Amino acid sequence: MDVPQIKKAAKVYDVVIVGSGAGGGMAAYQLSKAGANVALLEAGGYFDPADPKYINQLKWVYESPRRGAGTTRAFGDFDAAWGGWEIEGEPYSAAKGTEFHWFRSRMLGGRTNHWGRISLRFGPDDFKRKSLTGIGEDWPLGYEDYAPYYDKVDDLIGVFGSKEGLRDAPDGRFLPPPKPRLHELMIKKAAKGIGIPVIPSRLSILTKPIHDRGGCFYCAQCGRACQAYADFSSSSVLCIPAVKTGRVNLINNAMAREVLTDAKTGLVTGVSYVDTLTMTEQAVMGKVVVLAASTCETARLLLNSKSPRFQNGLANSSGVVGKYLNDSTGASRSAFIPSLMDRKRYNEDGVGGAHIYTPWWLDNKKLDFPRGYHIEYGGGMGMPMYGFGFGMEGRNNMVPGRDGKPKEAGGYGADLKDDFRRFYGANIGMAGRGEPVPLESNYCEIDPNTVDRYGIPTLRFNYKWSDAEIKQAKHMQDTFEEIIHAMGGIPLGKKPGPENNYGLEAPGKIIHEIGTARMGNDPKTSVLNKYSQAHDVKNLFVVDAAAFPSQGDKNVTWTILANSWRTSDYIIDQVKQKNI
């Protein structure tokens, strides 16, 4: 077989962006609007939530032969994300005794097509964890640097919420929040009664139409992608408008192999990639390269971009690339609420996600773990999906039958059929999402033994939770039971305990990973400066969550968007000043 020839396009773009998720989409949008000619590489195919070719929204469960089961899509048959934890021909590994699960979405807009739309700002203290607690790392920036960008992101993309005046959960420029559903009102009342705050969610869903996008029509299916563009996904809100400027060349099915550099100047000159449809080697050249391939894919790309000048991988003189990888903690519990049995039926789909949440409310100085978490809630009379009715034998003896007599668990026949009706909509769930302590010992590296189907060396993960996260999960479980009991509910299943880290999900499972090319003021301990510009290479930038030193207990998408916008402004400024 011939050695593949790399086809270099003659054109030199102002900017080459790798990845079309939140970070890459925002950079493509801002830079193209500012007049730059952009090449936007996306490893997966084209996706437009409004094109019938891609629409799953408003399909009935029985239109799926597996009734929505997650056989080929981890989050169910109607979920918008292509890809998942495992992608054929694209393996990864974990060092012995460690674990990491890597969710990848190969499509325009990446993982923003199916996410929970939870759009939280960091609080001022989230940028200063080392100063405040002695562990972790400070950002080279503070809330005051991001506040104007958070405001601009709110206005451009749209987010609903309520003004609460909480220091740790700063208010934004909110659209009106939807009213809580019935079970959410019950959670709110019970939690408030035991001193746990419950406030309206902050989701990037349009409760009022803005910028030619449609308003939410309350089908609860944001995870399927919205044909009215009434929620934020990078495909619909950033990438497609960016392409419409006429200055963005979107290159789909382009799996980046290496960032190319000039041996003399040490500057980046472009990106080589595999066209996954033709399996040909290609390259696209640019004056500036912006990486937004996702936290781990960006680290992989940097580590794989080796040259005599950058023997340790690109922008890695510090040796920090791949290190300090951290994902949100996650633990959950569900409960049966007897008072919700035999409910009146009405359409309570609402927006895609909870209408309420609990921001972190305690002081870690008084606790035995150093970082906080927020709580997300679920429940209601949703569309029955695959899994409905499984486990009734553990449930239907918890309350007397219609005749008031005790019931035997399990059963069959007309009586069982009636139980399904009675129990419908009487379950709730709650899940904690917490801040981990970033550790140098949690990292991804290039696996010396393995390549993917494109011949690109793959990642090997090394990740273990520390005591800080396990104790936080224990606290979550205790809190969940307190809330459930305050509601008069019955917790389902056995309470998770030390035997399974209190239900703490395995690293990577929450899909909030960050930190593999963190920014900082010291080039010896960080990869990027405070403009997300590589310390070692001035025309190389990273605008995904790889750049983040820590993640707070806030889902990071809003900060990715704010940081990418800020970085884009800096790139425009530096080009104008002829510094890059």
Over the window 382 to 421, marking each residue x when it contacts another protein by CB under 8 A and - when it does not, the resulting string is xxxxxxxxxxxx---x----------xxxxxxx-xxx-xx
Cβ distance to another protein smaller for residue 391 or 400 = 391
For residue 64, the minimal CB distance to another protein (Å) is 9
State which residue, 343 or 371, has the beta carbon closest to another protein: 343
Let me know how long the chain is: 580
Q: Choose between 61 and 580: whose C-beta lies nearer to another protein.
A: 61
382 bridge partner residues: none
Per rule CB under 8 A, is residue 162 in the interface with another protein?
Answer: no
34 binds another protein (CB under 8 A): no
Q: Minimum distance between the CB of residue 326 and another protein, rounded to whole angstroms?
A: 31
Residue 122 makes contact with another protein by CB under 8 A: no
Of 163, 229, 233, nearest to 202 by C-alpha is 163
What is the 3-state composition of the chain as percent helix, strand, coil, each rounded to the nearest 5?
25, 20, 55
Part in contact with another protein (CB under 8 A); list of ranges 307-315, 370-378, 379-387, 446-454: 379-387
Between 319 and 389, CB nearer to another protein: 389
Residue 507, both tokens: 């690293």
Q: How far is the CB of 506 from another protein (least distance, A)?
A: 20
Task: Specify the pairing of strand 540-542 against strand 373-379.
Answer: unpaired
Per-residue DSSP letters for 265-331? Answer: T--EEEEEEEETTTTEEEEEEEEEEEE-S-HHHHHHHHHH---SS-TT-TT-TTS-TTTT-B--EEE
Among 29, 46, 82, 357, interactor with another protein by CB under 8 A: 82
- Under rule CB under 8 A, residue 67 binds another protein: yes
Residues between 282 and 321 that touch another protein (CB under 8 A): none
Report the largest interatomic distance among the alpha carbons of the chain, rounded to a whole angstrom: 85
d(CA 561, CA 172): 14
Residue 86 or 393 with smaller CB distance to another protein: 393
549 vs 140: CA distance, rounded Å: 9
Asked if 345 interacts with another protein (CB under 8 A), we say yes
Q: Is 87 in the site for another protein (CB under 8 A)?
A: no
Rule CB under 8 A: which of 464-523 touch another protein? none
- Six token digits for residue 31: 């830079």
Q: Are strands 280-291 and 6-18 parallel, antiparallel or unpaired?
A: parallel
Return the exposure string of 27-59: e unless at least 16 CB atoms fall within 10 Å of the residue's CB, then b.
Answer: bbbbbbebebbbbbbbbbebbbbbeeebbbbee
Strands 280-291 and 373-379, sheet pairing = unpaired
Backbone angles phi, psi at 475, to 5 degrees: -65, -40
Please say which residue, 423 or 565, places its beta carbon nearer to another protein: 423
Tell me the closest approach of the beta carbon of residue 412 to another protein, in angstroms: 5
Binding another protein by CB under 8 A: which of 349, 452, 481, 569?
349
Cβ density class 137-152: b for 16+ within 10 Å, e for less: bbbbbebeebeebbeb
Q: Provide the minimum distance between the beta carbon of 243 and another protein in the complex, in angstroms, as a whole number.
A: 22
Query: Per-residue x/- marks for another protein, 39-58, CB under 8 A?
Result: -------------xxxxx-x
186 interacts with another protein by CB under 8 A? yes
Q: How many CB atoms lie within 10 A of CB 99?
A: 15
Give residues with Cβ within 8 angstroms of 243, minimum separation 6: 40, 250
The reply to whether 182 sits near another protein by the rule CB under 8 A is yes
# residues contacting another protein (CB under 8 A): 69
Please state whether beta strands 38-41 and 6-18 pair in parallel, antiparallel, or not at all (unpaired).
Answer: parallel
Q: Which is nearer to another protein, 487 or 547 (CB)?
A: 487
Report the residue number, 297 or 419, with the smaller CB distance to another protein.
419
CB of 453 to another protein, least distance (A): 14
Q: Pick between residue 73 and residue 247 the one whose CB is nearest to another protein.
A: 73
- Binder to another protein among 19, 270, 330, 350 (CB under 8 A)? 350
Query: Contact between 60 and another protein (CB under 8 A)?
Result: yes
Cα distance between residue 374 and residue 357, in whole Å: 7
Interface residues toward another protein, by CB under 8 A: 52-56, 58-62, 65-69, 71-72, 78, 82, 178-182, 185-186, 189, 217-220, 224, 339, 343-351, 381-393, 397, 408-414, 416-418, 420-421, 424
